[in-house]
Amino acid sequence: MTRARIVLSPLLAASVSFAGSAAAQQLYRWTDDQGRVHVTDSPPPSGAKNVQARKADAPPSASADAGTGGSLPFELQKAMKDFPVVLYSAPTCEELCSLARAALNKRGIPFQEIVVRDDKGNAELKKVSGSNVVPVILVGSRVQQGFQAEALDTLLDYAGYPKAGTVPPRSQQAPKPPAAKEASKPVEEASTSRGRYSPVAPSLPDAEPQRRYAPIPGKDEPLTGPYGAKSTPPASDAPEK
């Protein structure tokens, strides 16, 4: 099995900013004139290219994260704002992506997960991380390519996130796959028609065609037709001697 490479380098994209209100969950992805990908919660400048607007997967409510009905700790709120965490995964990434997701949940880190499902997503991932290897974890302006627990903890510590055990763990699951397109309705079997104009079912391709006249004896055995397999013609039809 190919081992995922672990790369710690400055992220080409700008920091993603998560705001607490529902209105701030609109994210913009765009490319500047130098080919760098940016992810922001504010509209891009007029000269931006490949602008994409999408709704972010908002972290659970403060009460759900804290588990006490109160607000998130100030330390966690500040880290989320200054160094938002984004996890890139893929449907085919099971073990490593699950480990990355579990590590973030165990430490109680709210994060956005983006599932790369097609060529367009792959191209975007490559612009962001320089490769199409998943998982990719963004922590503010830095990227971890692949997964390694100690390296991830280092990034989270640097960003000021609370230490493990400081906040309750979370149970964020992978995003649900998009609804499958409705399957085409199978052709219904035609109902049986009745009456003199009802269609006649076609015979099998290899079936012997029904004869209207008697076959030639000795050539088209077994005999079929109006005289039966072993019948003889009436006396009136017998050949003269």
pLDDT digits (tens, 9 = 90+) for 45-85: 888 888 877 664 444 443 344 343 347 889 999 999 999 99
| 25 burial level (CB within 10 Å; 0-12, 13-18, 19+) | middle
| 186 burial level (CB within 10 Å; 0-12, 13-18, 19+) | exposed
Domains in the chain: boundaries: 7-159
Helix (H) or strand (E) holding 145: strand 142-145
pLDDT higher than threshold 70 for residue 41: no
Within 10 A of 13 (CB to CB), how many other CB atoms are there?
Answer: 23
Side chain identity, residue 232:
T
Q: What is the pTM of this model?
A: 0.51
Side chain identity, residue 176:
K
Number of H helices, E strands in the chain: 5, 8
CATH 3.40.30.10 at 7-159, yes or no: yes
User: Residue 58 gets which letter from DSSP?
Assistant: P
Query: Inter-axis angle of helices 95-106 and 149-159, to 10 degrees?
Result: 40
CB-based contact 135:147 (threshold 8 Å) = yes
**The three-state (H, E, C) secondary structure of 88-143, written as one string:** EECCCCCHHHHHHHHHHHHCCCCCEEEECCCHHHHHHHHHHHCCCCCCEEEECCEE
Of 156, 74, 142, which is closest to residue 107 (Cα–Cα)?
Answer: 156
pLDDT digits (tens, 9 = 90+) for 95-140: 999 999 999 999 999 999 999 999 998 998 998 899 999 999 999 9
Q: What is the dihedral of CA 134, 52, 65, 86, to 10 degrees?
A: 30
In this predicted model, which residue has the larger pLDDT, 163 or 227?
163
